Structure 1
Amino acid sequence: MRRIILSLSVSLDGYFEGPDGSLDWHLVDDELHQHFNDELRTMSAFLDGRVSHELMSAYWPTADANPEASSAEAEFAGIWRDMPKYVFSRSLTKADWNTTILREVDPDEINALKAQPGGDMVVGGATIADEFRRLGLIDAYRLYVMPVILGAGRPLFPASGVRSDLRLVETRTFSNGVALLGYEAGRGGE
């Protein structure tokens, strides 16, 4: 069965976005970008909310045509274009680039996707990720902790009253100071 993996960057103080939605504090150098490519190329689908999908589709479809794009960026453009995408939106009427629009997160529908053959699926975007988390649909978490304390912004996981126990399965430090913390869903001591 395919798993759903949350893969997102977060500040040391738990913010997904800085004030006013800023992402300029993300430290994605060639080493980290290549790591993202290596991880994401094995996936079978991207699961995103509307905002994340629109952000991605505004740049990645033609990023490899940009002469200033690094080789890792150009490689990711192809990965993104070719990967099946599911976008959760009540307002989108059309989405290109191998994208299926789903109106809501239906656990039965998501579990049917998980039961299909293929690689794991990656969920991105804070709002949709938190909904998946509250519904118990995330199997693994890959959090890329950026070496910055923002002091304000949009938290990755807003207060919800829903507890999620995790088990640490992976750590890695990148040369730019970013730390990967990999968790699997389930009680920490098991």
Structure 2
Amino acid sequence: MRTLRYGINVTLDGCVHHEAGIAPDDESMRFWTAEIERADALLYGRVTYGMMESAWRRPASGVWPAWMGDRDLPFAEAIDATPKHVVSSTLETVDWNADLVRGELGQAVRELKERPGSSLSVGGVTLPLALAELGLIDEYVFVVHPVIAGHGPTLFDGLRDRALLDLVDRQEFSSGAIALHYRPARV
């Protein structure tokens, strides 16, 4: 069975807005590129899919935009090439190497996990909350930035029951950020 791994940037006060942390640097871009490359497929909700597609989809011209530097290109190449599954009840179609996930969320994600391969990577805020509620996330990767945002959406806001996690790895970045890798605790 494939592992479902959730990864996200978060501030010290739990904010998960993509603009609340420290701007990506070479080190963090290499980290997130490796995270994308390790996944057989990506799982996104409608909003995250749209945001990622608008930033990281290869233009029809085949030429990446001028704002992308050398550190961005490996991430762009990796995310562009990776198959995607999009959970949405409102989208009629998706492309960008993607398919729609319909029906009951728990059953649909269990079926994705049962497909051959090693791992799925989930991103965003709302979908991972629903998956955590269903007990479907096998690994969590939080890159905690040394920033206090003071506002914005927070990690797992509204989670009904606490989730106990075991730390399995950590990696410190020169920026002061720390990547923390957890698995659900065996109770």
Name the TM-score, length of structure 2 as normaliser: 0.91
Distance 1:178 1:105, change over 3 A: farther
Q: 5 Å matches for 1:130-169?
A: 130-169=129-168
Q: 5 Å matches for 1:108-187?
A: 108-187=107-186
Q: What's the offset of the Cα at 1:119?
A: 2.5
| Residue aligning to 2:43 | 47
Distance 1:151 1:168, change over 3 A: same
Distance 1:53 1:105, change over 3 A: farther
Q: What's the offset of the Cα at 1:26?
A: 3.5
Deviations 1:65-109 (A, max 9, x none): 123422231112221121110111111112111111123552222
Range moving further from structure 2, 26-35 or 173-182: 26-35
| Residue aligning to 1:94 | 93
8 Å contact 2:101–2:108 — kept in the other structure? no
Deviations 1:157-184 (A, max 9, x none): 1133222111100111101111111101
2:22 is paired with a residue whose SS is coil
In 1, distance between residues paired with 2:68 and 2:87? 29
In 1, distance between residues paired with 2:95 and 2:74? 19
Q: 1:56 aligns with which of 35, 42, 52?
A: 52
Q: Does 1:7 align with 2:3?
A: no
| Residue aligning to 1:35 | 31
Range moving further from structure 2, 176-185 or 54-63: 54-63
Distance 1:173 1:102, change over 3 A: same
1:62 is paired with a residue whose SS is coil
8 Å contact 1:95–1:101 — kept in the other structure? yes
In 1, distance between residues paired with 2:168 and 2:95? 36
2:57 is paired with a residue whose SS is helix
Deviations 1:113-161 (A, max 9, x none): 1121112111101000100000000000000101101111111111332
Percent identity of the aligned residues?
33
Deviations 1:22-45 (A, max 9, x none): 615333101110111122112111
Name the TM-score, length of structure 1 as normaliser: 0.90
8 Å contact 1:88–1:105 — kept in the other structure? no
Q: Does 1:76 align with 2:72?
A: no
- Runs of 4+ with >6 A deviation: none
